[in-house]
Amino acid sequence: MTLHNTKVDIGASAKAQEINGEFVVFKGTTARVTGPQGWTSYRGLRDQLVLEKKLEPCDSPEFYVFAVNIAFSSPTAGAVIVNAGNVSGRTGSWRVQGTSKTYQDWHEEKLAAAGGSCSVIE
């Protein structure tokens, strides 16, 4: 199941997938360089990824490009890095590709099918 990021409405293209319990944003995804002034969450991680050249300058000066697949601890961490701003990865940013289903909706369906339930607030 591939997810795409719906919050980036300025030309970025982001794809990700949950793989072995990690939230992986794929190589080739673009991410905004500049976010809102009040952006705080995961900013240090974002700076580290740029220093490590895992996020590199893109043809467009408004974007970075993921040079490698990057695993994050949560969908929100991946969404914040892509959007350069404080967003929810579970309920607002990531959608199942080709649908309007949020990551959280998909995740809850997956748990129900496995016979479990979970309430996650992020």
Residue 36 lies inside a defined structural domain of this protein:
yes
- Cβ proximity of 32 and 24 under 8 Å: no
Confidence (pLDDT) at 56:
97
Q: Which tokens belong to 94? A: 């990531």
Residue 23 lies inside a defined structural domain of this protein:
yes
Confidence (pLDDT) at 28:
94
The residue ranges of the chain whose pLDDT is under 50 are: 1, 120-122
Q: pTM higher than 0.85, yes or no?
A: no
Q: Which tokens belong to 61? A: 């000066």
Residue 122 lies inside a defined structural domain of this protein:
no
Confidence (pLDDT) at 121:
41
How many structural domains is the chain composed of? Answer: 1
Confidence (pLDDT) at 14:
86
Residue 120 lies inside a defined structural domain of this protein:
no
Residue 10 lies inside a defined structural domain of this protein:
yes
Confidence (pLDDT) at 25:
94
Q: Domain limits at 51?
A: 3-113
